[in-house]
Structure 1
Amino acid sequence: MKRPFLALLLLAFSLFAFGSVSIAQSRSGKVYTVPERQPEFPGGKAALSRYLAETIRVPGSLSRQNYDTGPVSAKFIIDEVGYVHDVRITTKPLDKKTQKSMEAFMMNIIAAIEKMPRWEPGQVDGKRVSVFYTLPIEVTMQ
C-alpha cells in the first residue's frame, strides 16, 4: 500500500544585491518582503521540515488517486515578535474531481502553520520587523 510522504523544500530567498531591502504596507503596518536578516524557525530549516512533515497530513483521497498536487506554496507573515498570521495557500488550478480533497489538504497546511511555535523574527537595521514569508511545499506520494 502506498503511503503519502510529505517532502518539504525550503528555498532560501535569493538576494540579487546584498543589502537590498524590499517593503510593503499592510493594515497592521510595514511588512518586509526582503529583510536584511530572514526570520528563522526554532532549530532552523531541518526542524521546520520535520515539524511540517509530522504535522501536515495528505488526505487519503489524494494519495489513493496518486494525485500530483503540483507546486504548493504557503505564504504568511511572521511579525516582529515571531508569531505567524495571515496564512495563504497557492496551488495550481484545481479540477472539480480533486477540489474537495485539495481544499482539505490546504486546510491541513494552514492549521499546521498557524500552530507553529514562535519564530526568530526578521531584522532590518538591527530591529525586529514583520516579514512576508513564502514556503514552497513539495508533496511526493510513496
Structure 2
Amino acid sequence: MKILSLFLIIVITSCVTYAQSQEKRIAYLSKTNKEVSGPTAAAYYRTVQEAGEGFIIREYFMPSGKVRLIAECMEYTPEIVYHGTVKRFYETGMLREEKQYDEGYATGVSTEYYETGKVSERKEHQSDDKVLILQHYTPDGRELLTNGHGLIKSMSPLGDTIYAEIRDHVLALQYDVHAGDTVYSMPEKQAEYIGGMNTLMKFLQQNVKYPADARRSGAQGTVFTRFDVGEDGTISNVAPVMNVNSDLDAEAVRVVSAMPRWKPALVRGQVVKSRFVLPIKFRLAGSRR
C-alpha cells in the first residue's frame, strides 16, 4: 500500500511539472500594454499555455512575478480573442475583475472589486454595444443606483474627478473635472467634423505625410490621438493615447492640431467641451498589418 501511494505521488508530481512546462513566455509588455523587446522596459510579461482546443493567457507583474491576468482564449496571435473566463488582479493578489467572453465578446454579468475585496460594480453585457450597469457600490458597500438611476463619482489615474450619470442602468453621460474645467468624454451628442466622416477622411489623406525616418525603419501602426473639442469647436490638448513610434506619433499630433473647427458636442441642448479619440493608421505599401 505504501509503495502504491508513493507511485501515485510520483505520477501526480510529474503531471504537475509537465503542465507547468507548457506555460511559455511569449511577450514583455509596457505599462500601456505595448510589446517591448525585453525585461528592461517591461512592466509585465505574458505567457501562453495550451488548454483543450484553446489557450490560457497569463500576465505577471514585474518584478514581483505576481499574477495580473488569467484568461481563457481561442486565439492569441496576432490578436487575443478571449473565450471563457477572464480574471484580472491587483498586484496585492486581490481579484480586480471577473468577466465572461464568447468568441471575443463580453457576455453575461461581470463583477469589479475594490482592492479590499468588496464589490465595486456589477454589469450585464447584453451585446457588444449594450451594457447595463446593474449596481455600483461605494467602498463601504453603499448602493449608488436607485432603480437604475444615479451618479457615480471616481478618480482617474491622473487625479481628475470623473462623473458618470446612469439612466435606466445605461451610461448616459460621462465627464471629468480638472482645475474647474469640465470635459465630456461621453456627451449626449458627440462632436462632429464639419462635413462628416468622409470629409474628415479626405482631410487626413491629403495632409498626413509618412515620416521618412519611420518609413526607412519600417515603423507602422495605428496612432490613437486624443484631443479636446472646445465649445467653439477649436481643437486643443492633442496627444497620442499610447506611443507607437515617436515620428508617427508626432505626425498624427501635427495633423490633428491642424484640423479646422468641429461642430461641438451637446448636452441638454447646450454646447460643451468634449474629448474625442481619432485613430490614424500608418501602413507601409505591401504590408498586411
TM-score tier by shorter-chain length is: 0.7 to 0.9
Is 1:20 the counterpart of 2:163 in the alignment?
no
Paired with 2:283 and 2:265, the residues of 1 have a C-alpha distance of: 30
Q: CA RMSD in A?
A: 2.1
2:239 to 88, 97, 102: 88
Q: Does the Cα contact within 8 Å between 1:57 and 1:105 map onto a contact in 2?
A: no
The separation in 2 between residues aligned to 1:123 and 1:92, in whole angstroms, is 30
| 1:116-127 to 2 correspondences below 5 Å | 116-127=259-270
Q: Which amino acid aligns with 1:26?
A: H
**What pairs with 1:1-142 in structure 2 (closer than 5 Å)?**
16=131, 20-27=172-179, 29-69=181-221, 71-92=222-243, 102-142=245-285
Structure index of larger Rg: 2
Q: How high is the TM-score relative to the length of structure 1? A: 0.74
1:3-42 CA distance string (max 9 Å, x none): xxxxxxxxxxx67576701011123611000001000101
The structure that is strand-richer by fraction is 2
Deviation (angstroms), 1:60: 1.9
Is the deviation greater in 131-140 or in 80-89?
A: 131-140
CA contact (8 A) 2:252 2:280 kept: no
- Aligned residues of 1:21 and 1:32 also touching (Cα < 8 A): yes
Residues paired across the two proteins, number = 120
Identical residues among aligned pairs (%): 23
2:188, 2:267 within 8 Å by CA — same for their partners in 1? yes
Amino acid at match of 1:106: D
The separation in 2 between residues aligned to 1:129 and 1:58, in whole angstroms, is 34
Alignment gaps of 5+ in structure 1: 1-13, 94-101
Q: Which has the higher contact order (CA 8 A, sep 6+)?
A: 1
User: C-alpha displacement at 1:81, in angstroms?
Assistant: 0.7
Length-normalised TM-score, structure 2: 0.38
CA contact (8 A) 2:214 2:247 kept: no
Partners of 1:83 and 1:103 lie apart in 2 by: 25
The one-letter code sitting in structure 1 at the alignment partner of 2:278 is: L
SS in 2 for 1:117: coil
Change (3 A) 1:121 1:91: same
Residue 4 of structure 1 corresponds to none
Give the ranges of 4+ consecutive aligned residues of structure 1 lying more than 4 Å apart after TM superposition: 14-19
The answer for unaligned runs of 5 or more in structure 2 is: 1-128, 133-169
